[in-house]
Amino acid sequence: MGTALIKIKLMPTSPEVDLEKIKTNAQIVVEEKGGKKCVFEEEPIAFGLTAVILFFEIDESQELEPIEENLKKIENVNSAQVIDMRRAFG
């Protein structure tokens, strides 16, 4: 099987949330489920709210739903949504 590159948007519950804690917990969730090479970006949304964009790679035979569900359970995360999935070449 190949490798899939995944992009997930994590929306915090409020602008006051510590995004570094969300990033740390998200990386733990992804690595427990077999993901690798986590990279994070922050995307301003509105009214001071900033989304965390999570990029990682995973074997394409792995299911994403358990990862997405566990990301939603992180404290102060309002939602987690897969916004891009691609097969890696090379």
List pLDDT tens digits, range 49-83. Answer: 999 999 999 988 888 888 889 999 999 999 999 99
pLDDT band at 1 (very low <50, low <70, confident <90, very high): low
* 83-86: long-range contacts, CB 8 A cutoff, minimum separation 24: 83/7, 83/8, 83/9, 83/53, 84/5, 84/6, 84/7, 85/4, 85/5, 85/6, 85/7, 86/4, 86/5
pTM of the predicted structure, to 2 decimals? 0.89
* H helix runs in 1-90, sequence order: 19-32, 65-72
% the chain with pLDDT above 90: 69
User: What domains sit in the chain, N to C, each tagged with a CATH number?
Assistant: 3-87 (3.30.70.60)
Q: For the chain, how big is the Rg over CA atoms in Å?
A: 13
